[in-house]
């Protein structure tokens, strides 16, 4: 079992290294682009060349990647803030520290500070959404799965199938129309500024609601399918035939086994909420990492884009590993595989 875990862990670390290299290649593909992005569109060629020389941007890609990794680990200096480079950037921590991801060119701040400002809002939105998605999805999914074929199940299943097919921005437009414009109950933007006339809680409602509707309908469908599938298995029939009360059959035999597939899906939702909420955050101007990624990418803020992508990759690999652990806890057979 520890062997299996160690093997998985090694595989994930390799994925992380290969993935971070892919990110690096995608953002710093050709030499020269990095310094012209740093200096902006009005820089003269000689300025670009001199910056490239100072930051050693003409080195081969693999060397630059190695330097990027060692700078991140706090082993080498990041030369960008040096006075003779003349970019006017400064970092109170100095040039060498663990977690040194360079500077955001858009915000003129160390990337690590920018991330620290935004990540809390993303976690807040993720926690609020998951706290609603899990009970709603399991409530509807288990109920429909146990009453599969009844009229209400068919109505709810069709409704969920249609809702799953809706794009997030369509939900956002619909909910904004009803709750912001027609009823006037909620604010249309959620910038989370303390002085806003709407309180923090009411600013959270709209983004959370869109994410919950978009995600809970999908998870509920998976839960329902899993419950229906499990109820057909021979051991459930055996439990019923030996005369166990229906409640015991459902709780101890059906639910525990039907839980395994949805756990992965829930973890995928966590992964998506922590890294991929670009649309909802942008619509409501919510200050999380999703809207930041879009702004950074549109600006050409390469160091910030690299950091955000690396973070997304780490979250993705982390949730996969967590999924493996949950699987092992729920289904002992997997430990052998």
Partner 1 sequence: MLRGVGERPLAATGATILLLWACIALAAPWIAPYDPLALDFSGAINHAPSAKHWLGTDSLGRDLLSRIIFGARTLFAVVPLAVGSAFVVGIALGAIAAYSGGLIDQVVSRASDVMLAFPALIIYVILLTSLGPSLINIVIAVTLAYAPGVGRLARGQVLAIKELDYVKAAQARGDHPLSIIVFEILPNARGPLVVDLSLRAGYTVILTGTLGFLGLGLPPPTPDWGAMVVENTQLLSSHWHMAVVPCLAIVSVVVACNFLADGLRD
The residue ranges that bind partner 1 (CB under 8 A) are: 11, 14-15, 18-19, 22-23, 26-27, 29, 161-162, 164-170, 173-174, 176-177, 181, 271-272, 275-276, 278-279, 282, 293-294, 297-298, 300, 305, 308-309, 312-313, 316-317, 320
Which is closer to partner 1, CB of 8 or CB of 96?
A: 8
Identify the DSSP state of 110: E
- Give CA–CA dist 138/251, Å, rounded: 13
Vertex 125 angle, CA 119 and 130, to 5° = 125
| Nearest to 193, CA basis, from 203, 184, 183, 185 | 203
Instruction: Rank residues 202 and 295 by Cβ distance to partner 1 and give the closer one.
Output: 295
Burial class (CB in 10 A: 0-12, 13-18, 19+), 49: middle
Phi, psi of 103 (to 5 degrees): -115, 145
Q: Is the separation of the CB atoms in 310 and 20 below 8 Å?
A: yes
Q: How far is the CB of 3 from partner 1 (least distance, A)?
A: 20
d(CA 29, CA 300): 13
Nearer to partner 1, 79 or 188 (CB): 188
Tell me the closest approach of the beta carbon of residue 273 to partner 1, in angstroms: 11
**What's the closest the beta carbon of residue 72 comes to partner 1, in angstroms?**
18
* Nearer Cβ to partner 1 (65/91): 65
Give least dist CB 243 to partner 1, A.
Answer: 35
- Shortest Å, Cβ 238 to partner 1: 28
Nearest distance, CB of residue 188 and partner 1, angstroms: 9
Residue 16 or 81: which CB sits closer to partner 1? Answer: 16
Which is closer to partner 1, CB of 42 or CB of 182? 182
Cβ-contact 90, 99 below 8 angstroms: no
Identify the residue whose tokens are 């998976």.
222
Distance, C-alpha 271 to centroid of its chain:
4
């Amino acid at each position: 079992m520890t062997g299996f875990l160690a093997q998985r862990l090694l595989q994930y670390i390799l994925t992380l290294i290969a993935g971070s290299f892919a990110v690096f290649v995608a953002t710093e593909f050709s030499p020269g682009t990095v310094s012209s992005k740093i200096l902006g569109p009005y820089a003269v060629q000689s300025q670009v060349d001199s910056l490239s020389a100072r930051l050693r941007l003409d080195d081969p890609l693999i060397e630059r990647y190695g330097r990027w990794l060692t700078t991140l680990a706090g082993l080498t200096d990041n030369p960008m803030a040096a006075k003779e480079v003349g970019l006017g950037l400064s970092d109170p921590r100095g040039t060498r520290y663990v977690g040194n991801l360079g500077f955001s060119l858009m915000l003129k701040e160390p990337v690590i500070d920018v991330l620290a400002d935004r990540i809390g809002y993303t976690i807040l939105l993720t926690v609020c959404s998951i706290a609603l998605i899990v009970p709603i999805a399991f409530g509807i999914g288990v109920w429909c799965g146990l009453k599969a074929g009844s009229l209400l199940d068919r109505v709810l299943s069709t409704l969920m199938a249609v809702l799953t097919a809706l794009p997030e921005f369509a939900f956002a437009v619909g909910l904004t129309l009803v709750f912001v414009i027609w009823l006037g109950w909620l604010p249309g933007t959620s910038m989370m500024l303390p002085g806003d006339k709407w309180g923090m809680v009411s600013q959270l409602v709209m983004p959370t609601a869109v994410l919950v509707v978009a995600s809970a309908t999908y998870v509920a469908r998976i839960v329902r399918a899993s419950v229906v599938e499990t109820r057909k298995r021979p051991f459930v029939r055996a439990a019923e035939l030996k005369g166990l009360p229906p409640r015991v059959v459902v709780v101890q035999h059906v639910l525990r086994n039907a839980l395994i597939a949805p756990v992965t899906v829930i973890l995928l939702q966590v992964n998506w909420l922590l890294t991929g909420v670009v649309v909802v955050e942008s619509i409501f101007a919510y200050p999380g990492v999703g809207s930041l990624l879009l702004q950074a990418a549109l600006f050409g803020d390469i160091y910030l884009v690299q950091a955000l992508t690396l973070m997304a990759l780490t979250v993705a690999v982390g949730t996969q590993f967590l999924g493996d652990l949950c699987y092992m806890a729920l289904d002992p057979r997997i430990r052998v595989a």
